[in-house]
Structure 1
């Protein structure tokens, strides 16, 4: 997500539209429409198109909430070959005012976009939700915490331009307050600068606080299957709108209750995009997001002797010194290295110059390794 896209985000207006948005239906205000969106949409309004927000995309069609209500529209005009440019849940669309079928002719430039790498071998990105203000990462306390996976979610959330929020679900299953406090502390250490909230849909703990947060803008609900996302969505909706399935006792894993991404209007204000459980959380050009997740490592790295320090064995490495002094957990450094390497590989597959640089570095390191080995063997040549 570019800095221009991040800086273009504006707060969602819940008041009556001003003169600049007088042509915009009041019905869209509760979906997050504001003066800036109205200005973006003006050229399409002149063409007789109507504005609406995409609540679901499925097999070449999508459901769009407009002034007249829910409209089913064809997406043939907004389905390019680039998977990152297809229309998705959360987009603001320009839809034909009439016709059978009706078509989405365009969508407005996105302010934020949550993108991950697909599990295919084609190195494609997949956009999960757009125009999101809060990225809620649901983590179940019913199973052992996977901090590495959480770091991946956080990196993608920061990269999207949204504000991450970690919600620890099923808090009622951890009755010991000392144990719960330790778990929360582990997550807070893993998520610097991110609010961590414990909730229980069973007891209602924390749901009022979460409801107040999501009432301001658009939120996307993320997490693996069994994290309690659908139950959490029902708690925020105040109704059993989302089907809930029990997790397996043997490993705490759940089945895919939600199979599509849906935009839900919350009774307390704001909208929520519920997503299916994600089996894979692959990075997609998320270097800035990784840096944000590991901000303490970035701060230590600024004090390294060499500006291109790899934090492996270089002299004067402030990061390694922090590990030795107990200021930085070694697990965090290993996770940082892993995510940075993964992100570099992803970018290299689509960036020819970076790919050439990586190949040159690999050849140089291989030559150095052979030379060092030859020196140890008394000058043997290979």
Structure 2
């Protein structure tokens, strides 16, 4: 038996169940149309009803790990039929691999996302900015978790933590050594009964090791990273929701080499608050931040207040986010034409 409140079931979800038939459960895994549910009375396997398939139009209409669903149990079997997905409090998603405009759902109803990055030579601020932008879009709260501090000298750790703090804008930045369980207590304040944490990061950053340490058992396979470049291999092959010893749940996700955005310009503004603030200080409202006199951004780059790499990252992600917004409004073909036209005018 499971305590639904400990799993994150609260008034937000209970209010949606009023006057609706069916039992409530939370999705722990999803694979090939088969869903593992944690329910009040048991753990069971479930499939979607025929009516559900008929009414679903978009990817986000379907359930994903972390979703709360209404289902009907099949008498005498540990199986059920899912009829409805309850409205989500947050949703982590990305652009699916491939050329098509398709969304890939990663985790639902997450309170806090641990943005896991390694402190070794795979340390990458630009990648962290991209992940941070996606978390802001999801509606969850970000926490940077910097792993493998045992592979760095204290001075290098301090420098890298400071570099992340400069892009984090108030989001906590925690350096840990999960392998030797150093610094794990700093994560405990986010691991409460009724709360959901998800991990997001590239392959080889130590997510599986961190999961195993937090759960107190070896539930995820781990592999050594490549020595020549500190790149990792995919050990987590699917998304899964685990129950934490202290209550609450944690969702692990497969590592990613690149996170293709599925978000708009508003999230980009939250991620680059420093650049947006500087842009508001330019002498001309239509400043393109190139050679115009009184450009606060170019002045900040010249003085060292803003790094050129960070500004280039801002421009790249803004363009990507703007293109995503246009595709959603007008379709991919028209959005591409509009992009080309604006590039010719120099306004993109």
Q: Which of these residues, 276, 283, 291, is aligned with residue 305 of structure 1?
A: 283
Distance 1:363 1:136 in 2: 39
- Report matched runs for 1:345-364 at 5 Å: 345-352=323-330, 359=337, 362-363=340-341
TM-score normalized by the length of structure 1 = 0.83
Map of 1:177 onto structure 2 = 154
State whether structure 2 residue 284 is matched by structure 1 residue 292: no
Higher-Rg member (1/2): 1
Map of 1:221 onto structure 2 = 199
SS at match of 1:96: strand
Distance 1:150 1:65 in 2: 32
SS at match of 2:173: strand
Q: Which of these residues, 60, 71, 74, is aligned with residue 33 of structure 2?
A: 60
When structure 1 is superposed on structure 2, of 68-77 and 157-166 the one drifting more is 68-77
**Maintained 8 Å contact 2:63/2:85:** yes
| 1:166, distance to aligned residue in structure 2 (A) | 0.7
SS at match of 1:349: helix
TM-score normalized by the length of structure 2 = 0.91
Map of 2:65 onto structure 1 = 89
Map of 1:343 onto structure 2 = 321
1:225-263 deviations in whole A, cap 9, x for unaligned? 111001000111011121212222222222221111101
RMSD between superposed Cα atoms in Å: 2.3
Extract unaligned runs of 5+ from structure 1: 1-24, 370-382
Map of 2:220 onto structure 1 = 242
**Maintained 8 Å contact 1:95/1:102:** yes
**Maintained 8 Å contact 1:90/1:129:** yes
Distance 1:236 1:365 in 2: 49
| 1:320, distance to aligned residue in structure 2 (A) | 1.7
1:314-373 deviations in whole A, cap 9, x for unaligned? 33322222212221111110100011111222222232189868745744663689xxxx
Map of 1:5 onto structure 2 = none
The 3 A distance-change label for structure 1 pair 362 and 201 is closer
Map of 2:113 onto structure 1 = 135
How many pairs are equivalent? 341
| 1:148, distance to aligned residue in structure 2 (A) | 0.9
**Maintained 8 Å contact 1:171/1:198:** yes
Map of 2:9 onto structure 1 = 33
4+ long deviations beyond 6 Å = none
**Maintained 8 Å contact 2:94/2:103:** yes
- Report matched runs for 1:2-81 at 5 Å: 27-44=3-20, 47=21, 49-76=22-49, 77-79=51-53, 80-81=56-57
SS at match of 1:269: coil
**Maintained 8 Å contact 1:156/1:286:** no
Q: Which of these residues, 95, 113, 123, is aligned with residue 145 of structure 1?
A: 123
Distance 1:368 1:258 in 2: 43
Distance 1:356 1:119 in 2: 21
Extract unaligned runs of 5+ from structure 2: none
Distance 2:96 2:284 in 1: 35
| 1:120, distance to aligned residue in structure 2 (A) | 1.1
**Maintained 8 Å contact 1:119/1:280:** no
**Maintained 8 Å contact 1:134/1:214:** no
Distance 1:123 1:184 in 2: 36
Q: Which of these residues, 164, 168, 184, is aligned with residue 187 of structure 1?
A: 164
When structure 1 is superposed on structure 2, of 153-162 and 295-304 the one drifting more is 295-304
Distance 2:320 2:254 in 1: 24
